[in-house]
Every structure is written in structure tokens, then in C-alpha cells.
Amino acid sequence: MKTPLVIIGPGRLGCTAQLLLEQRGHSAMLIGRGNSIPAALVTWITVPDREIIQVAKSIPRGGVVLHASGAHEYTILRPHAPAGSLHPLMSFPGPEKGIPSGTIPAAIEGDPDAQAAAHLLAEQLGFSPFIVAGDRAAYHAAAVMAGNFATTLLVEAGRALSSCGIEEVDARRLLAPLALTSLNNTIEAGSEALTGPIVRGDEDVIASHENSLHEIDPNLANLYRAMTDATRKLKT
């Protein structure tokens, strides 16, 4: 008799997924990469991308096989069929640090039966599934931009503010309400949410920013200049 669900990879996503399923009355067998993999109705691979193909070779044939990569097509799982993918559009720090709150979108694709299995698993996890069509690299690039670049900007803005005599961690906390409000406004308003000297065309102010940041670190000035150019294009 096949196991209903096997999750391969006890990392941050795998451990969180098992806990979420248990909280909702579902069960899953979570196993490490070095363990024997049992036959299962559904097997979800949550290991790092570079290990997916090798892990897939160790999975018994006959059930649905899914991977959790945002960057790869589900066809890397062949010859498994049905094959598909389930990629939560969220970062997971691990259950010991916390579980993301609110609605978690989850991208699914695959063979028809695998897509149905991924949809059901997403709902059991409490995720909101949606189908990804088109260029997988573009999808993953969008996820990286949204999930990482905001962090980069807040860290660098905090570094700039720390030059005014404020500890960097305090600087990030002080800037966070502004950053979060801007992001929330952007969800509905898009580029119309932009404010500040770039929108107003205050070139003297922008130049003074660049000069000040260059004194702190030329890389900060370069980042500011690149983001200024990108922001100007949003308004054209």
C-alpha cells in the first residue's frame, strides 16, 4: 500500500509544510535525502534545486511527483509521469522561527493529474494555488525581485541612515513603516504610489543625495543612481 504523501527534504520548507499539514488534520512522511524513499501517491521534492534531478531518480515510479522549485520546469522530473511542481510564492524561515501569516500564493503546473494533485496539496497546506504559464525564468525572476530586492534596499537605506549616528538595526526599524506603507500602496496604485524628489523633478535634491552617499560609500551612490533611473522610467 502506497504512502499518501511523502515530502523529501527536511529543510525550512519541508518542515514547515509538514507542520502546516498536521495542523490541518493531514499527514505527511518527511524524509531526508539519504533515506530510502517509499512508494507514494504523491511525492513532493523540497530539496535545493541542484539536487532535484538526482533525488527524482531515487523515487519509485507510479505516483505523482512534484518539485518545489520556482526556477525549473516540471519536465526535469521525467521520466516520472504524472509530474508537476508546487512552488509557494513566499520565503520560509523555518517553523522554529515562525510560519508566514496571511494568504500564501502557490504556483502550480504539470501534467493534468499532477496539476490536480498540486492544487489539492496547496489547499491542504492553506495556500492559494494559481497556474503558471509561460517563461519559468521570468516567473522566478519576478519572485526573486519581490522577495530579495526590497530587503537589499532596506538594508542599504539603513546603512545610509546609520551614517547619521543611528545604529543600523534601529535605522531599519525606523525606515520600515515607510517602506511597508509604500509597498502596500503600490499593490493597488502601481507606479502612482511613487512620491518624493524623483516624482517632483527636484534634480538638485537628487544630486545632493548622490554626493552624500558617495562620501559614505560609492556603491551606495551607484545603487541610488540605478534606482533613480529605474524610477524615472516608471513615470515616463
Ramachandran sector of residue 102 (left: φ over 0; alpha: ψ -120 to 50; beta: rest): left
Average pLDDT, the chain: 94
Q: How confident is the model at residue 3 (pLDDT cuts 50, 70, 90)?
A: confident
Is residue 1's pLDDT more than 80? no
Instruction: State the pTM of this model.
Output: 0.86
Question: pLDDT, tens digit, for every residue of 157-206?
Answer: 999 999 999 999 999 999 999 999 999 999 999 999 999 999 999 999 99
Q: Percent of the chain beyond pLDDT 70? A: 99
Angle separating helix axes 150-162 and 218-234, nearest 10 degrees: 130
The distance in angstroms from the start CA to the end CA of the chain is 61
- Alpha helices for 24-149 (secondary structure H): 52-57, 112-125, 136-144
CB atoms within 10 A of CB 4: 13
The pLDDT of residue 236: 66
Q: Domains in the chain, start-ordered, CATH in brackets?
A: 3-133 (3.40.50.720), 138-234 (1.10.1040.20)
CA distance 125 to 21: 6
Question: pLDDT, tens digit, for every residue of 16-64?
Answer: 999 999 999 999 999 997 789 999 999 999 999 999 999 999 999 999 9
